[in-house]
Amino acid sequence: MKLRVLVLHSQVYSMPDERNPGAKNEGVSLSYLMPDEAEDSPDRKGVEVQKGSVPILQQSALRTVPGFYDVEFKMSSVTNKQGNRVPGLKPVSLTYASPVRFVGESPAAGPR
């Protein structure tokens, strides 16, 4: 399943793999928004930040962050905020789509 998401942050990680001595656990952590998931109920509004990771080889696909990316997801077992394993979407690859264009000015920045 491919969805367009707004990647807000990325960070490469590399650490020893505790289950496989001598091997490394590497990847790229992502924080992203799925704009189609906006909520509007009396007690929940807006878009919740999602987290996931992709293989380290996907690092080169991250041209600019924040930015819009077409992300390929697969169904997988993911850990929710309560620490429970539940069915969910796991990002597996991404392709750059477009930059983010912010509208308006920051009061601290002043006019340009």
- What CATH number is associated with residue 62? 2.40.50.140
| pLDDT at position 56 | 95
What pLDDT does residue 107 have?
Answer: 62
The range of the structural domain enclosing residue 11 comes to 2-38+46-99
Query: Structure tokens of 27?
Result: 């990847």
pLDDT digits (tens, 9 = 90+) for 47-100: 889 999 999 999 999 999 999 999 999 998 877 778 888 888 899 999 999 999
User: Residue 108: which pLDDT band, with cuts at 50, 70 and 90?
Assistant: low
Half-sphere CA count of 24, side-chain side, radius 13 A: 8
pLDDT at 20: 86
Q: Is residue 111 domain-resident?
A: no
Q: In whole numbers, what is the pLDDT of the chain averaged over residues?
A: 88
Number of domains in the chain: 1
Cα separation of 27 and 13, whole Å?
6
What string of DSSP letters covers 79-98?
Answer: E-TTS-EEEEEEEEEEEEEE
pLDDT at residue 110 tops 80: no
